[in-house]
Amino acid sequence: SSGINAEYGGVRAAMPGFIAKKLCPDLVIVPGNHDKYSAVSSQIMDVISKYTTEFSAMSLDEVYCDMTELVQNRTVPPELCPEHGSPETVESATRGRSPASVQ
């Protein structure tokens, strides 16, 4: 990704660095950290797997998952998010909101 100033200069995500530097000579290219990305991705996949087994990881930062039942019921098992209280509390907090807005 690129910062707003670089974007105004025409720099876009996934653009080759040498082209980006021509468009924005003051651009600072920060090297990636694949090991860190991979570790965080694994943590996120672990969290998702607690909510549904119906998911498919497409890459480190992309996953498709079926959360239909969770959203339709508007409940989360208390052991998964004790800071939110019981399923009844979650249902009460989400009452009247569209399923798409419940996250």
Q: Which residues are catalytic?
A: 62
Cα(99)–Cα(40) distance, rounded to whole angstroms? 27
Extract the tokens encoding 61.
Answer: 């930062």
At 73 the three-state DSSP class reads helix
**Closest to 66 measured CA to CA, from 83, 80, 51:** 51
